Amino acid sequence: MQFNTLFYIFIFLCIVPINVANAAAKKLLFCYEDKEIAPMFLGTGQEIPIQRPGASADVLRLLDDAVDGVDIEFVRKPWRRCLKDLESNKVNAVIASFREGREQIAVYPMDEDAKPNAQFAISKFGSCLLGRDKFRSQWQSRDKFNTKTFTIAVPSGYGLSAVLKKEPLFVHETVSKENAFELLNKGVVDSSIDICQVDKIKASSYPYSDTDVKALFPPYEFTLGYLVFSHQFYENHPTLSHKMWQWVSEFDTAPIYIDYLNSAKQPKN
């Protein structure tokens, strides 16, 4: 009887450290938009795709595996709801670009000048206008035009950056990026928009290879996406937060984003 008791105590002591280690992993609730934003996140609605969820989701899954002490759980909501829930700590993290005032609801990896440190960005995109030779040539002399001269197809909800809003562009909204590319290919519009650079590598998801449509370099805009935390999560777990930022800074995310961009190119004639 004494032997059995000692045996069970031994087994219990062996199991307890494992359970404590598992319990020590902090759940991080990550929120992202319930609309497709390729190549970052694919699919729509609240469902989290298991296969090919998007480049940013893949990167976060790799982070989850690599960093001890964190267990990432994904949830999808409208983007404004994600930000609102981050502010109220109903979710713990999102991936977001930096905008003035957003630091009031999110903690960014800041440098000594109190600005987001690009070294810790999880995504670095350059965006370019797309167009045929004629458009690219005329675009160079666009300062001569005083009215909306060129038509540009952009997905609904995308919006134009502050830079492009000042340009002579008439915006034609489409239901998707694929539809915008189709209109450009058919000559219905003069231009569209595409990610043309990932970090320092040129890239494209434009699927039509039998036209003279090309990107206008240099990119008109660079966008950096940061893994940001709610203030409460960061205050409670500063060491863990910095461990995740450090992993991002050391991991080359560009090949994953480029792979998704390339896979979006379906042969079209």
Going residue by residue through the chain, which has 269 residues, state the pLDDT in tens, using 9 for 90 and above.
444 544 444 444 454 444 444 446 799 999 999 988 889 999 999 999 999 999 999 999 999 999 999 999 999 999 999 999 999 999 999 999 999 899 999 999 999 988 999 999 999 999 999 999 999 999 988 877 767 789 999 988 777 788 888 899 999 999 888 999 999 999 999 999 999 999 999 999 999 987 899 999 999 999 999 999 999 999 999 999 999 999 999 999 999 999 999 998 765 44
What pLDDT is recorded for position 90? 98
Please confirm whether the linkage preceding 39 is cis (ω < 30° from 0): yes
Cα torsion 101, 102, 104, 109: sign = negative
Residue in this structure with the two tokens 């519009």, named with its chain if needed: 189
Closest residue by Cα to residue 97 from 155, 56, 65: 56
User: Could you give the 3-state DSSP secondary structure of residue 194?
Assistant: strand
Q: How far apart are CA 80 and CA 208, in angstroms?
A: 34
pTM, full prediction: 0.84
Chain-centre distance for alpha carbon 217:
22
Q: How far apart are CA 222 and CA 152, in angstroms?
A: 19
Hey, what amino acid is at 86?
A: L
What pLDDT is recorded for position 24? 64
Q: Under a CB-based contact definition with an 8 Å cutoff, are residues 69 and 20 in contact? A: no
Q: How far apart are CA 206 and CA 214, in angstroms?
A: 9
Pairing state of beta strands 214-215 and 123-131? antiparallel
Listing DSSP states for 36-60 in one string gives: -BTTTB---SS---SS---HHHHHH
What pLDDT is recorded for position 2? 47
